[in-house]
Amino acid sequence: MNIKGVERKVYFVLLGLLSDNLSINTFMGYATSFSSMYYCRFCKLDKKAAQTQIQLHRELNRTKSNYEEDLNKPFKETGIKENSESNRLKYYHAEESCVVDVMHDLFSHGICAYDFAAVLNYMIKTLKISLHTINYRIKKFKYGESEKQHSLKKNKKNHIRTASFKMTAKDMLRFVRYFPLIFGDLVPQNNEVWNFVLSLVELVDLVMLPSFNEHLLKILEEQIIYHHTLYTQLFNEKLKPKYHILLHYVQTIRKLGPPRYTWSFRFEAFHQIFKKYCRNITSRRNICLTLCTKASLIFSNNLNNANFFGIDLTYKNAVTVKLINMPYFALLDIDSNIHLHNFQASNNVSYKGVEYKIGYFLSKSSRRLSNIELYEIRDILIKNDDLYFVCRKWRISNYSEHYAAFEVTGPCDMYKIAEVNEFDGPPIHLYSIENKLYIRLKKYFI
């Protein structure tokens, strides 16, 4: 690399390998079956104890030194099958940089499925809500225009019994987010199982945070313990391996950062593409080589393509406008001479892959959610590739614990113009329950 005319050699240190649970265990030399006695890649708690223990024991944590000692002991006593090839790297060790697989731990045949199996079973047996009603509620609920909703398959009794719901990880993520709004009005206030549902919803929100500090890590740690305690007490269940692995999230976040940056969603999305290739390729001599060749051709084509790193902002059919000529100008709260500028106005835009349309809602909140504001997009304006929204403010009255959502009372006669990055994130939607309007914040959601 040439830096200010001086040739420098740059070295990269491997920080971590991204993978799902099974692959990371395989690559790191650990047990590849989660029914093994020592299946955990983070500690050496045996599987019997891991079914009941909610507190972690530091002395059982795997370390570089005990990993090396355990290589000389039988697999049955340690859970280590072989030395990982990655340990030959000078600055990397299998034990020090183990990632977590949040997609499979929580959403794909994970904790959410186990939890909902127990909760739906309770709703059917104790609250006498029929399976037909449950399926109808799921089908009827509209997540909102921007959610790319597709219809979910009907849940059958055996899906609930075996916790094998017919939904993708992304569907499950959405289902957890909106579960309180889908079923909240069917469940009495202060119901203990409903409190457990809310603990899961909050846990998922926390795990999905884009950044952490010590305060948030402490809250996450307490939330995991609270959730697991309720699960074992309410349903008389043992903790499955994924519940145990979740206990290691706080220590992993401290080492490698938020789990959302190491998850497998994007990698698994490629499965569909490769499945299509497999169907179209007739040669079966070396299908893996063919797929690898395809993948490298696509990658090099993308690198050559000027659009690969994405145009942040795209829009169509824009017209030139001035704020001073707009009907809401008198209600607009502005303190600069922005109203004198010419803007391009469009009905919808795509910014960093997120679609914004007139009529969508955006939230603006402080870090600790002490101050939440809700805005409806009334105009979308562009100036020199900067994106602005002219928004109408809506009133938020209070937070409903039962629905895990904020109640919205209606619009105010106050308009403001703000840049896209001033808002929390992607658009959110209003949901109507028993003649009241609610929003769920999407601050931590994809």
- Pairing type for strands 372-383 and 386-400 reads antiparallel
Nearer to Zn ion by C-beta: 40 or 408?
Answer: 40
Nearer to Zn ion by C-beta: 97 or 350?
Answer: 97
Q: Work out whether the CA dihedral 415, 418, 420, 421 comes out positive or negative.
A: negative
CB of 93 to Zn ion, least distance (A): 17
CB of 47 to Zn ion, least distance (A): 10
| Phi and psi, residue 91, nearest 5° | -110, 25
Q: Rounded to whole angstroms, how far apart are CA atoms 294 and 296? A: 6
Nearer to Zn ion by C-beta: 78 or 155?
Answer: 78
Nearer to Zn ion by C-beta: 60 or 433?
Answer: 60
Nearer to Zn ion by C-beta: 40 or 437?
Answer: 40
- Establish if 388 lies at the interface with Zn ion (CB under 5 A): no
| Phi and psi, residue 419, nearest 5° | -75, 150
CB of 240 to Zn ion, least distance (A): 13
- Pairing type for strands 342-346 and 6-7 reads unpaired
Q: Rounded to whole angstroms, how far apart are CA atoms 121 and 128? A: 10
CB of 247 to Zn ion, least distance (A): 7
Say how many residues touch Zn ion, by CB under 5 A.
Answer: 3
Length of the chain: 446
Cβ neighbours, 10 Å, residue 248: 19
Nearer to Zn ion by C-beta: 43 or 173?
Answer: 43
Nearer to Zn ion by C-beta: 40 or 253?
Answer: 40
Query: What spatial distance separates the first Cα and last Cα of the chain, rounded to whole Å?
Result: 36
CB of 42 to Zn ion, least distance (A): 4
The residue among 435, 443, 108, 60 whose CA lies nearest residue 264 is 108
Nearer to Zn ion by C-beta: 39 or 212?
Answer: 39
CB of 244 to Zn ion, least distance (A): 6
On whether the CB atoms of residues 79 and 36 are closer than 8 A, the answer is yes
Q: Which residues contact 250 (CB under 8 A, 6 or more apart)?
A: 217, 220, 221, 224
CB of 245 to Zn ion, least distance (A): 7
Cross-strand bridge partners of residue 362:
375
CB of 45 to Zn ion, least distance (A): 5
Q: Rounded to whole angstroms, how far apart are CA atoms 174 and 167? A: 10
- Per DSSP, 30 falls in state B
Q: Using CB under 5 A, which residues numbered 24 to 53 contact Zn ion? A: 40, 42-43
Nearer to Zn ion by C-beta: 246 or 377?
Answer: 246
Cβ neighbours, 10 Å, residue 431: 20
Runs of H (alpha helix) within 350-414: none
Q: Which residues contact 332 (CB under 8 A, 6 or more apart)?
A: 323, 326, 339, 390, 415, 416, 417
The residues that touch Zn ion, with contacts defined as CB under 5 A, are: 40, 42-43
